Amino acid sequence: MWAAISPYRNSEAMKAVEIVEVAPRDGLQDESMVVPTKAKIELIERALATGVRRVEAVSFVHPERVPTMADAEAVMAGVKRCPGTRLAGLVLNERGLDRALASAVDEVNVVVLVTDAFSRRNQGMTTGQALTMWSQVAARAADAGVAATVTLGAAFGCPYEGVVDRAWVGEVAERVAESGPSEIALADTIGAAVPHEVDALVREVGSRSGLPVRVHLHNSRNTGFANALAAVMAGAHTIDASLGGIGGCPFAPGASGNIATEDVVYLLERSGFETGLQLGGLIEASRWLAGVLGRDLPGQLARTGPFPLAPAAA
Ligand code: ZN
């Protein structure tokens, strides 16, 4: 028998880590093919069937800007809701919030890019203006009884300004916290971070904001999984991941995408953390998604399978 001992955990209780499945939004947004609405709905439902409790399902951005997300309302209307699960919609402004609330999302997520150069190019506003937009969205979401979260984009590095100062990200997090989000996410949007930076920023933002910390990691430079382990060891409660590891990075051409859900679940479960997800179901969903997209995906477990091997295969 394998001893259930992990070098990373010395407490008897397994520490729960929540996984947010982001393939339906972040993952599919950068796909060149437009995935049919029906397949998007199936993707969300397959994720929920593996035990995922939170899904970033859609984004409510202008259809001309992101045509692949133009069917957000139809996706939200088509998904069979499960009790105890939350479907999130990304919003970039109050118009997006109107659509999100009309679609009965359980959660809205707002992105605040922490550098002015990136924020201007991506959202047409400075970081300060994005913070104002967030406070307006937060107030209206609270009135509607909908949870609101904030993702601090480019928190570990910016394609225009380079290395980002940790104290500055902490300051932005404090300002975000004033409007009462349910958590703050730190996004390594371009996949530049290394573990000691993740450790330090998770601790900084957790202590300065007093809020649970979620991380959103990209594997552009193959540091995503090491960063995920560093994040949970530093106290992050929640990790974003995408089935198959889909989701490109426009600022790192050729890079693989988000950390793959099935791969990070394997890493965490074998390191003494508990995700509540079924690895076999995730692998199956990842293989199904590869079929929908018609290509091999970056995730490894769909190829190698889990370990220890099942007795029949050993
Ligand atoms: Zn991503």
Residue 7 belongs to a domain: no
Kindly tell me if the per-residue pLDDT of 98 is higher than 80.
yes
- Please report whether residue 162 resides in a domain: yes
Provide the domain count of the chain.
1
Given the residues 114, 249, 255, 290, select the one marked as catalytic: 249
In this predicted model, what pLDDT tens digit does every residue of 26-76 receive, in sequence order?
999 988 888 999 999 999 999 999 999 999 999 999 988 888 899 999 999
pLDDT digits (tens, 9 = 90+) for 139-150: 999 999 999 999
At 150, which amino acid appears?
V
* Rounded distance from Cα 247 to ligand 1 centre (Å): 6
Residue 82 known to be catalytic: no
Q: Give the pair of three-digit tokens for residue 141.
A: 């979401």
- What is the Å distance from ligand 1's center to 307 Cα? 27
C-alpha torsion angle, residues 156, 68, 129, 127 (rounded to 10): 10
308 domain residue, yes or no: no
Q: What's the 122 CA to ligand 1 centre distance in angstroms?
A: 14
Confidence of residue 256 (pLDDT cuts 50, 70, 90): confident
Q: How confident is the model at residue 2 (pLDDT cuts 50, 70, 90)?
A: very low
Beta carbons of 101 and 142 less than 8 angstroms apart: no
Tell me the CA–centroid distance for residue 218 and ligand 1, in Å.
6
Confirm whether 304 is domain-assigned: no
CATH number of the domain residue 97 falls in: 3.20.20.70
Q: Is 2 part of any domain?
A: no
For 279-311, write each residue's pLDDT tens digit: 999 999 999 999 999 999 999 999 999 998 766
**Domain range for residue 272?**
13-298
Q: Are 76 and 89 in contact (CB under 8 A)?
A: yes
